[in-house]
Amino acid sequence: MTSILSVLDQSPISEESTGGDALRNSIDLAQLAESVGYRRYWVAEHHATPMLASPSPEALIGPIAARTARLRVGSGGVMLPHYSPLKVAETFSMLAGLFPGRIDLGIGRAAGTDPLATFALQRDRRQAAPDDFPEQLLELRGYMEGSLPDQHSFARVAKLPGEPEAPEIWLLGSSPQSAIWAGEQSLPYVFADFINSEGAHIAALYRERFTPSPQLPRPKVMVATWALCADTEEEAERLATSSRMALSLLRTSGKMIPVPTVETATRFLKEPAGALPIARRRRMTLGTKKMVRNGLDAIAREYGAEELMIVTITHSHEARKHSYELIAEAFRLGAD
């Protein structure tokens, strides 16, 4: 259904490697993604975890954009409740000024970590931070779009360094509330199917609540989903064991670990502790090129999505690269 594919990179740290290795792998994968025809390359934000190496997507976007030429590079996403809207606006304005027409700002509400790390990220720890995400989002857009009213408390500090360039703003979510906010604020919406694979009705809610604007006259949906492609179905299933083990531990015990080897994961999944109830499993589209193409097309139809963003985690960096190459071939991304 769609021929527009992008990459969501969580910068996974493999067992027996380092966070620096994972970040360098992200730059390497971005260069491959550009060469085979993906449209965007977004990096995620996760804190205080041994499994994922990017707590600061803005620190990785610049190096990736500098090592590529056409790829749109962005955040998937910046977890806005941790930050001052002005600071986020200034940072992404700088990136947009450096890389005109290539920077995306995906905004999320989730913490991207556990409650303790969330509290540690606060500047003022005398009390919990307020839950004022809609107000934060409006303030951020006010800076970015030059729409703060003159009487606003911060109107005089609204000059941004990258003007007139600006990032494209997207709202991320996996719940009805995020869909409502995106629709009412006339923003393009990214749904995290890799977190909640029953979100077609939420995408429909976004369209129902969408308010047209000059910047976005029609609703725009992108779906981020998990996929893994290999030369054979058996090899894809084998490679997927690493993610299955990591997910099983996370969902059953809250424990996050570096991405295990296939051998370690295969042993674990054969044990009773490795079994994850069907109701708690997340959707994984995996197999050969044809199988993954059919699966991803079905997801795009289910959501009515104009674009898909692919999440892939394997222990082997080369296997992850090969998966993205095969998916690009399946969709003939570089054919034009």
**With 90 as the cut, is the pLDDT of residue 25 above it?**
yes
Query: What 3 state SS string does the chain have?
Result: CCCCEEEEECCECECCCCHHHHHHHHHHHHHHHHHHCCCEEEECCCCCCCCECCCCHHHHHHHHHHCCCCCEEEEEEEEHHHCCHHHHHHHHHHHHHHCCCCEEEEEECCCCCCHHHHHHHCCCCCCCCCCCHHHHHHHHHHHHHCCCCCCCCCHHHCCCCCCCCCCEEEEEECCHHHHHHHHHCCCCEEEECCCCCCCHHHHHHHHHHCCCCCCCCCCCEEEEEEEEECCCHHHHHHHHHHHHHHHHHHHHHCCCCCECCHHHHHHHHCCHHHCCCHHHCCCCEEECHHHHHHHHHHHHHHHCCCEEEEECCCCCHHHHHHHHHHHHHHCCCCCC
pLDDT at 148: 83
Q: Which of 167, 221, 214, 211 is nearest to 186 (CA)?
A: 211
CATH number 3.40.640.10 is the correct assignment for the domain at 5-330: no
Cα dihedral angle (47, 51, 53, 55), rounded to 10 degrees? Answer: -10
pLDDT digits (tens, 9 = 90+) for 116-158: 888 888 887 788 778 889 999 999 999 999 888 777 778 777 7
Q: Confidence band (pLDDT; 50, 70, 90) for 281?
A: low
Q: Confidence band (pLDDT; 50, 70, 90) for 279?
A: very low
Q: What is the mean pLDDT of the chain?
A: 92
Q: Confidence band (pLDDT; 50, 70, 90) for 24?
A: very high
Cα separation, 194 vs 174, whole angstroms: 9
pLDDT at 105: 98
pLDDT digits (tens, 9 = 90+) for 307-336: 999 999 999 999 999 999 999 999 999 765
pLDDT at 312: 98
- Number of Cβ within 10 Å of residue 248's Cβ equals 21
Cα separation, 227 vs 284, whole angstroms: 6
pLDDT at 199: 95
Find the mean pLDDT for residues 204-215: 96
93-102, 111-120, 137-146, 195-204: least confident range: 111-120
pLDDT at 116: 80
pLDDT digits (tens, 9 = 90+) for 151-198: 777 877 778 999 999 999 999 999 999 999 999 999 999 999 999 999
pLDDT at 273: 63
Backbone phi, psi, residue 27, to 5°:
-65, -40
pLDDT digits (tens, 9 = 90+) for 40-91: 999 999 999 999 999 999 999 999 999 999 999 999 999 999 999 999 999 9
pLDDT at 125: 79
pLDDT at 278: 47
pLDDT at 255: 85
pLDDT at 250: 84
pLDDT digits (tens, 9 = 90+) for 229-272: 999 999 999 999 999 999 888 887 788 999 999 999 999 998 87
* Domain locations along the chain: 5-330
pLDDT at 192: 97
pLDDT at 122: 82
Share of residues in the chain with pLDDT > 90 (%): 79
pLDDT at 152: 75
Find the mean pLDDT for residues 220-225: 98
